[in-house]
């Protein structure tokens, strides 16, 4: 395909999130949206009202059988990601699938293998990996400015919409897990989770997920749909400096604190000494581009060039394996689950 030929994209799933994806693909000059597909006709009417020139259908086979579709963007409920993505790959289409990639690790492995066998792009909607403040934090961590990372603590809570089919772990934690794996360049080796279903007993709406990484870094992720305030705050503590990333801030989303504690060995048999440092607080300037636009542009570029997406099927698989282990731990009352082996397809 020549660079000037538009990439022909179909959006499957036009509920809450699909319209955001459609808007961004419509804004791209080198993309042609061939179809919007949704099982509910009321949703298709909404799409037609907004974009009358984009054809709509309730029939996925019509989309997948259309030779004028190069790529399929899937924004349906989690339980449907696997069958839709699999059918799309089998039909020879590149696939972007919303987070989390699948409902379990074996499905994730199958999609990774299929995309690999067919030489097609498989990308997962880990949107925050494309968010400018998250990118900025990655640069800061990689520059060594924070020193060795000791731990990360993150909160993603608000009075959120209770999902009917998945726990808060599967709904919200994909964001934090994908951010952590991107920042740290490693996946967790073990996880333990406590939580409970406060409103619907069978569907946990609060969870505290503790991760341990091979490097020794530890992390805690708090997720909940039950909170009086909206918090989207992450703290990264290093041996040299500390950082707070607050996504609810309008301007100063990232702040670097020149704070720390230095340990001095005792000179004789006396007690060790600690010296506390509270220096400057710096907030770097961060561009305001919409993460979804950057994510969609990356997918289009990968489809054109065959480049491997930053959030490829393997990245999706690692997150799914972690969610599965986190949920299993929660279900078992907080026992620690190992997960290094789970992220390998050889095991499935």
Contact present, 218 and 169 (Cβ < 8 Å) = no
Encoded one letter per residue, x for contact with ligand NAD by CB under 6 A and - for no contact, window 75-104 reads xxxx-x---x-------------xx-----
Q: Taking the chain, what is the end-to-end CA distance rounded to the nearest angstrom?
A: 36
- 37 burial level (CB within 10 Å; 0-12, 13-18, 19+): buried
Q: Report the C-alpha gap between 65 and 100 in whole angstroms.
A: 26
Q: Report the C-alpha gap between 2 and 304 in whole angstroms.
A: 8
Q: Which stretch binds ligand NAD (CB under 6 A): 36-44, 65-73, 219-227, 273-281?
A: 36-44
Residue among 9, 25, 38, 192 that touches ligand NAD (CB under 6 A): 38
Which is nearer to ligand NAD, 174 or 260 (by Cβ)?
174
Q: State the nearest-atom distance from the C-beta of 285 to ligand NAD, in Å.
A: 24
Which is nearer to ligand NAD, 36 or 242 (by Cβ)?
36
Residue among 11, 60, 95, 137 that touches ligand NAD (CB under 6 A): 60
Which is nearer to ligand NAD, 18 or 260 (by Cβ)?
18
Q: Decide the pairing of beta strands 231-238 and 71-74.
A: unpaired
What does 202-223 look like in DSSP terms, one character per residue? Answer: TS--EEEEEEE-TTS-EEEEEE
Residue among 1, 27, 30, 40 that touches ligand NAD (CB under 6 A): 40
Which is nearer to ligand NAD, 76 or 224 (by Cβ)?
76
Q: Report the C-alpha gap between 89 and 95 in whole angstroms.
A: 7
Encoded one letter per residue, x for contact with ligand NAD by CB under 6 A and - for no contact, window 99-138 reads x-------------------------x-x-----------
Helical axes 313-331 vs 105-118, angle rounded to 10°: 170
Closest CA to 183 of 140, 214, 223: 140
Q: Which stretch binds ligand NAD (CB under 6 A): 69-77, 178-186, 224-232, 234-242?
A: 69-77
The answer to the question of residue 12 lying near ligand NAD (CB under 6 A) is yes
Q: Which positions touch ligand NAD (CB under 6 A)? A: 12-18, 37-40, 43, 60, 75-78, 80, 84, 98-99, 125, 127
């Amino acid at each position: 395909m020549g660079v000037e030929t538009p990439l022909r994209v179909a959006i499957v799933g036009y509920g809450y999130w699909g319209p955001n994806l459609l808007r961004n693909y419509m804004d791209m000059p080198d993309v042609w949206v061939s179809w919007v597909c949704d099982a509910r006709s009321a949703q298709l009417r909404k799409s037609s009202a907004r974009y009358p020139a984009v054809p709509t259908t309730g029939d996925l086979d019509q989309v997948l059988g259309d030779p004028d579709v190069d790529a399929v963007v899937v924004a349906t409920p989690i339980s449907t990601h696997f069958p839709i993505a699999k059918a799309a790959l089998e039909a020879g289409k590149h696939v972007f699938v919303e987070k989390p990639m699948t409902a379990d690790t074996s499905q994730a492995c199958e999609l990774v293998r299929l995309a690999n066998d067919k030489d097609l792009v498989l990308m997962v909607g880990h949107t925050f990996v494309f968010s400018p403040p998250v990118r900025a934090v990655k640069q800061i961590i990689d520059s060594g400015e924070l020193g060795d990372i000791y731990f990360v603590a993150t909160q993603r809570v608000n009075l959120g919409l209770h999902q009917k089919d998945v726990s808060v772990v599967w709904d919200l934690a994909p964001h934090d897990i994908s951010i952590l794996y991107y920042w740290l360049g490693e996946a967790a080796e073990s996880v333990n989770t406590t939580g409970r279903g406060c409103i619907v007993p069978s569907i946990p709406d609060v969870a505290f997920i503790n991760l341990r990484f091979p490097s020794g870094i530890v992390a805690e992720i708090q997720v909940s749909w039950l909170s009086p305030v909206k918090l989207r705050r992450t703290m990264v503590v290093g041996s040299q400096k500390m950082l707070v990333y607050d996504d609810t801030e309008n301007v100063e989303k990232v702040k670097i604190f020149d704070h720390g504690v230095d340990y001095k060995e005792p000179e004789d048999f006396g007690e060790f000494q600690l010296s506390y440092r509270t220096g400057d607080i710096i907030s770097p300037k961060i561009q305001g581009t919409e993460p979804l636009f950057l994510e969609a542009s990356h997918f289009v570029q990968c489809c054109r060039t065959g480049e491997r997406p930053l959030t490829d099927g393997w990245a999706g698989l690692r997150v799914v394996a972690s969610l599965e282990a986190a949920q299993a731990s929660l279900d078992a009352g907080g026992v620690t689950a190992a997960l290094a082996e789970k992220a390998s397809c050889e095991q499935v």
